[in-house]
Chains A and B, each alone.
Chain A
Amino acid sequence: MIRIEARNSPPMLLKVGVPIFAAFVSLLLAAIPLAFAGANIGTAFVEMVRGVFGSVFAFSEMLTRATPLIFTGLAAAVAFRARLWNIGAEGQLYLGAMAAVAVGTGVLDVSGIILIPVIIIIGCFAGAFGMAVPVILKTRFGADEVVTTLLLNFIVLILVQMMLEGPLKDPMGLGWPQSSPILDQGMLPVLLDRMRVHSGLIIGLILALVLQLLITRSVWGFKLRAVGENIAASRHAGIRINRSLLSVAVCSGGLAGLAGVSEVIGLKGYLTADISPGFGYTGIVVAMLAGLSPVGVVVAALFIASVFVGADSMSRAMGVSSYLADLVVSMSLLCVLIGGFFAHYRVAWVSAPAKVKK
């Protein structure tokens, strides 16, 4: 008979090992649709690996792809730790991006040392605002933040389209719905010559470390965890729940806003309505894969970006649909969720009762 017993506190090795193992399993599972598509599985995997590690350029492309995922992953991880379900990182990303073009395209013509921080801060504020509203609705009126943040995504996207047809539209843009370009001095420096990977990545890495420290070591992080784990006891202990949730919301929204800022002033240089292929939603997967740990988010973002970039280049080389990447990402999430079960529960095979000696 099979029996399932809860583990007291899952050992560290398991906590870290399970997601990694799950990631591998999901890659192996990817062989199934590949086989259906009639591709040679061996070559396909080789192409995928080459698509990420085959050249410095390929690797830098992967890092470029991982950058926004680090931000949105952190946004989801912080919020979820406090059991605040921010599904709206996608919308907050666009708010941050919009704010970046609003100040970065000429309104403020100052040197880069001033302009870049200003853009970053204003972008953070815009994203933070996008998450603060649903949380105020939650604490004031009990509105479920899952619904409000999700719906806000669509509202923001429509707003972006409207702005790109109106006030933010580039007069020199030949009628395309895109914004004017960010001033040259407002762009983040690239990290490698002739590659696209930019210093947004460094900002993301630093923020991940800072957040890790804050969550595990600071009083703010303590409150956030306490509120997430037991809201009644936290309230009883004098933690101001609403204030705590609001601060988490501001932090989470700000991080998502940064994802948009970094895409605009690090990569694209201008805003279009398709600047994010769902980075906000993928960030949720990243955070879950990472077990909501900020440092884990970095690893998970690199993994998912590798899958996307690898699958992309494989599909180009072999003529297989690149939707495969989405499939691997969703399977990795499922594998991690299932793996999480094994990390928290011990499953043992119990034999029939032993004969008792008498």
Chain B
Amino acid sequence: MSAKNVLSLLSLSKRFGTTLANDQVTLDLKRGEILALLGENGAGKTTLMNMLFGHYLPDEGSILISNAEDKMVPLTPGHPQAALAAGIGMVHQHFTLAENLTALENITLGSEPLWALGTNKVKVREKIEKIIKRSGLKVDLNVAVGRLSVGEKQRVEILKALYRDAKILVLDEPTAVLTPQEADLLFKNIQAMTLDGLSVIFISHKLREVLEFSHRIVVLRNGKKVGEILTCDADEKIIANMMVGEDAKVLKRTKLKVGQSLLSLSAITLKGNSLRNSLSDISLVVHEHEVLGVAGVSGNGQSVLAELISGLSFPNLGEIKIGSNRIDKPSPMAMISAGIGRIPEDRHRDGIVGSMTVAENAILESLNDPRVQRFGFLRQEAMTDYAEKLCEAYDVRGPGVRFPARLLSGGNIQKLILARVFEKLPSLILANQPTRGLDLGAASDVERRLLDARNRGAGVILISEDLDEILRLSDRIMVMYSGELKEVSSRNREEIGMLMAGKNK
């Protein structure tokens, strides 16, 4: 590709306390290029993009961006408004939409004054519809964003950036919450847009999409740029090597004889407020030494299933049994005391209390444990020690256990939750999208730990959209579609894929 540069980051550095999150990172982006930014959790990808967008002020270095006359001019650092004006659009790792406003209002929020919306509505809508047509990012503009699926929300975020005439689009893990089909569609749309001259930087942990859709790959490790390669010269092995400095380990699942039943749901019906939140007459059973994979496109009832097993919802009909005990009053406490470890899907909402310290979050589910409390008082020293050991053992990286948990990078928050769950040696693990947002090494680490737990006798319910993950780990597979759960005997990708789409052969 011989196109001109549209953006240069020149030796950017950023330090948070003692963490050097970015260390003299230099990077160019060409017009019409799709650049993939890779790296382990906490490598500094989000930080780098936040500096580009002006959320953080770089400690060192500068940013050049092409202006209307195609000249490279310096960008005011630390000023999102300047970044927006220069044509940088950013879609964050976590959604930043106002849930009670419509898609249309969200897209225009910030760029059009609210009172102008009434008078300009027709013009505004025309402009958005034109963008939708060009990009292929279809959404219903009149629906409140809170009612949209994650995939649709993602599209609204991108439309919002495009509406502001972004020339450079930054996507921080855009596909972490998307199904493979949605992700492919998103990238097809992005490819189409690059033909119009849009340049894209995206962060991802999914090598498949990186290899398929990017033109160039840049790898960060510990805040430093450690490699750069044209995608056509790369393969999974090379990239994995660049990222962690070693080959990814291959997992082996040996066949085991299953033991007693740990959890059984029989004929459970749960009427939620929408189809997405309902279960109709589902049954399942998990045994010792067994991983039960629940495959399916998200939004087909998986979240209610997870809530049910977490003790957060009540079934309208049916029976829950743990071991041979009937659970009449499910509650989170009842499930925890019955030895069920739960890894929630929405880690920010359900997994951590962001403003409390990492140490406090580490013991969030162990408040009665005599190791951390005595006579109703927390043993600060013991708590800190425990958390430090935990972070060490599970490779949770961050500023330290005495700092608020929200300062951890997305992947490290997940590792903290996993550590909390695994450390209690649960007899049953509910893992809802456990590797979402984790880097390769961390993801395979989680998979290994899930298998280890199974090998020592635990049962695992793995809810995942990643069919490969399901196939790798599961002893038995069930498919969830539209609130129903069906066991499949086949291990054929296509066949399971059909069932996930609701098509019975």
B351 neighbours in A (Cβ, 8 Å) = 233, 236
Residue of A whose beta carbon sits closest to that of B332: A238
Cross-chain contact A236 with B344 (CB below 8 angstroms): yes
B77 interface residue per 8 A CB criterion: yes
Q: Within the complex, which residue of A232, A354, A355 is in contact with B349, where a contact is CB–CB below 8 Å?
A: A232
B64 interface residue per 8 A CB criterion: yes
Given contacts A236-B344, A348-B57, contact A223 B79 (CB under 8 A): no
Smallest CB separation, A228 vs chain B (Å): 9
Residue of B whose beta carbon sits closest to that of A220: B376
Cross-chain contact B365 with A238 (CB below 8 angstroms): yes
Given contacts A218-B376, A233-B353, contact A348 B360 (CB under 8 A): no
Cα A355 to Cα B64 in complex, Å, equals: 10
Cross-chain contact B78 with A350 (CB below 8 angstroms): yes
Cα A3 to Cα B377 in complex, Å, equals: 42
Cα A240 to Cα B311 in complex, Å, equals: 12
B95 neighbours in A (Cβ, 8 Å) = none
Q: Within the complex, which residue of B55, B350, B355, B377 is in contact with A236, where a contact is CB–CB below 8 Å?
A: B350
Cross-chain contact A236 with B77 (CB below 8 angstroms): no
B407 interface residue per 8 A CB criterion: yes
Cα A312 to Cα B378 in complex, Å, equals: 45
Cross-chain contact B373 with A356 (CB below 8 angstroms): no
Cross-chain contact A1 with B76 (CB below 8 angstroms): yes
B399 neighbours in A (Cβ, 8 Å) = 8
Cα A226 to Cα B332 in complex, Å, equals: 15
Cross-chain contact B376 with A219 (CB below 8 angstroms): yes
Residues 53 to 89 of chain B near chain A (Cβ within 8 Å)? 54-57, 62, 64, 74-79, 82
Cα A8 to Cα B342 in complex, Å, equals: 29
Cα A280 to Cα B376 in complex, Å, equals: 30
A55 neighbours in B (Cβ, 8 Å) = none
Cross-chain contact A217 with B380 (CB below 8 angstroms): yes
Cα A356 to Cα B64 in complex, Å, equals: 9
Cross-chain contact B356 with A226 (CB below 8 angstroms): yes
Residue of A whose beta carbon sits closest to that of B404: A9
Residue of A whose beta carbon sits closest to that of B342: A236
Q: Within the complex, which residue of A8, A237, A353 is in contact with B364, where a contact is CB–CB below 8 Å?
A: A237
Residues 310 to 353 of chain A near chain B (Cβ within 8 Å)? 348, 350, 352-353
Cross-chain contact B364 with A226 (CB below 8 angstroms): yes
A218 neighbours in B (Cβ, 8 Å) = 376-378
Cα A223 to Cα B350 in complex, Å, equals: 15
Cα A238 to Cα B310 in complex, Å, equals: 9
A60 interface residue per 8 A CB criterion: no
A109 interface residue per 8 A CB criterion: no
Residue of A whose beta carbon sits closest to that of B335: A238
Q: Mark B1-38, 1 if CB is under 8 A from A, else 0.
A: 00000000010000011000000000000000000000
Q: Mark B292-320, 1 if CB is under 8 A from A, else 0.
A: 00000000000000000011100000000
Cα A236 to Cα B420 in complex, Å, equals: 13
Cα A348 to Cα B57 in complex, Å, equals: 10
A24 interface residue per 8 A CB criterion: no
Given contacts A8-B17, A218-B378, contact A230 B78 (CB under 8 A): no
| B contact face: mostly helix, strand, loop, or mixed | loop
Residues 249 to 276 of chain B near chain A (Cβ within 8 Å)? none
Q: Mark A225-259, 1 if CB is under 8 A from B, else 0.
A: 11001101111111110000000000000000000
B376 neighbours in A (Cβ, 8 Å) = 218-220
Q: Within the complex, which residue of B74, B335, B378 is in contact with A219, where a contact is CB–CB below 8 Å?
A: B378
B17 neighbours in A (Cβ, 8 Å) = 8
B220 interface residue per 8 A CB criterion: no
Cα A218 to Cα B373 in complex, Å, equals: 8
A176 interface residue per 8 A CB criterion: no
Smallest CB separation, B229 vs chain A (Å): 26
Given contacts A236-B332, A238-B365, contact A350 B76 (CB under 8 A): yes
Cross-chain contact A3 with B333 (CB below 8 angstroms): no
Cross-chain contact B354 with A230 (CB below 8 angstroms): yes
Cross-chain contact B360 with A229 (CB below 8 angstroms): no
A1 neighbours in B (Cβ, 8 Å) = 76, 79, 82
Smallest CB separation, B303 vs chain A (Å): 13
B79 neighbours in A (Cβ, 8 Å) = 1, 3, 350
A5 interface residue per 8 A CB criterion: yes
B336 interface residue per 8 A CB criterion: yes
Cross-chain contact B77 with A233 (CB below 8 angstroms): no
A237 neighbours in B (Cβ, 8 Å) = 332, 336, 364-365
B367 interface residue per 8 A CB criterion: yes
Nearest first, the 5 A-B pairs at minimum CB distance are A353-B74, A238-B333, A238-B332, A236-B350, A230-B353
A-B contacts, 25 of them at CB < 8 A, read A3-B54, A3-B78, A3-B79, A8-B404, A9-B403, A217-B377, A217-B380, A219-B367, A219-B368, A222-B378, A225-B356, A226-B360, A226-B364, A229-B355, A233-B351, A233-B352, A235-B312, A236-B310, A236-B312, A236-B332, A236-B351, A238-B311, A238-B333, A238-B365, A240-B333
